[in-house]
Amino acid sequence: MDALHGLKVLELGQLIAGPFAGKTLADFGADVVKIEPLEGGDPLRTWRLLRDGTSVWWEVQSRNKRSVALDLRTPQGQEVVRALAAEADVLIENFKPGTLEGWGLGWEALHALNPKLIMLRISGFGQTGPYAGKPGFGVLGEAMGGLRHLTAEPGRVPVRVGVSIGDTLAALHGVIGVLTALRHREVNGGVGQVIDVALYESVFNVMESLLPEYDAFGVVRGAAGSALPGIAPSNAYPCADGAYVLVAGNGDSIFRRLMQAIGRADLAADPGLARNDGRVPRVEEIDAAIRGWTSARPIGEAIATLEAAGVPVGRIYSVADIAADPQYLARDMIVQTHDVEGRPLKVPGIVPKLADTPGRMRTPAPRLGQHTDEVLSQRGWPKRPVRI
């Protein structure tokens, strides 16, 4: 049986953060009913590359869900949501704060209907504070959370990560909150509660020592390109064939093996470099030694030599590399599935890997409103209510 079998989830979110949280719960067996606008559905359906008018991203984000098409601005649509929320375990939403309240679907109203309901609310800046009413997207959360300040070569324009990492981090924090709230409700005899997730806080939560270093030492950490400031050596180094090899030699014993492998026994034996705090001030010297060695050989040779020495080493993967990699394939991270029309499509596998109750792909991403009749008729509504 699936780990979350029997868990009823009502997803009101659109695009990335809320739906990613819903996808994660659905992958492990939750029954996720996704509410979509009647006209066009979730905008993600038409984002990035389309196949016959539908985004292939949609096929990943909405697998294992059921689609119900409603107009939440109408009394009829709001009535349906209240009825579904009355029997749901979890409601997910990522609208601008105040939107649900304007529709009569805020926390107080739904909690009164269903005291056990857990409401996951994801927004740019949270439900409280001076910025709560501002619209917020992942890019703003990444910038305000401190990430964008670090993602650049020194002196160059900060760049984005390349994916919507702020939204995804918020979604994962939301799933942690949902599972924690469920544990409290079921084991400790608690009731439902609100999980208030802000995009910027989700990014800030993974910023490691950024704040205490500023508080204790006044250090404003800046961009460092491919290096990892304060940890040495860890960087990307050029090879003779134009590729870059990633070397993480920052463990003390690993550093000694790395220096031996590149022919620098003198650095391996240097007592001043025995620990990370001694290596950091001399990181440019160390990087120059590694760079001199890697630039004289192709990446394959560099990787083989360092792997033989027990040094963590790798290459920068493109998606073509990912799709062909034996480690991805061995762990079912490249999954051959099909869309609702039966067309084959490879999608990312399920994370994390549970030994006894692994997640699985039960159904493809739905057509817009595919399950409206099914979901509503189960609850006594006639088929195809007018303008819901």
Catalytic residue positions, numbered: 167
How far apart are the C-alpha atoms of 127 and 60, rounded to whole Å? Answer: 29
- Is the CB of residue 210 less than 8 Å from the CB of residue 221? yes
Nearest-5° Cα angle at 173, 46 to 108 = 85
Residues 257, 260, 262, 266, CA torsion sign: positive
3-state secondary structure the chain: CCCCCCCEEEECCCCCHHHHHHHHHHHCCCEEEEEEECCCCCHHHHCCCEECCEEHHHHHHCCCEEEEEECCCCHHHHHHHHHHHCCCCEEEECCCCCHHHHCCCCHHHHHHHCCCCEEEEEECCCCCCCCCCCCCCHHHHHHHCCCCCCCCCCCCCCCCCCCCHHHHHHHHHHHHHHHHHHHHHHHCCCCCCEEEEEHHHHHHCCCCCHHHHHHHHCCCCCCCCCCCCCCCCEEEEECCCCCEEEEECCCHHHHHHHHHHCCCHHHHHCHHHCCHHHHHHHHHHHHHHHHHHHCCCCHHHHHHHHHHCCCCEEECCCHHHHHHCHHHHHCCCEEEEECCCCCEEEEECCCCCCCCCCCCCCCCCCCCCCCHHHHHHCCCCCCCCCCC
Give the contacts of 212 (CB within 8 A, at least 6 positions apart): none
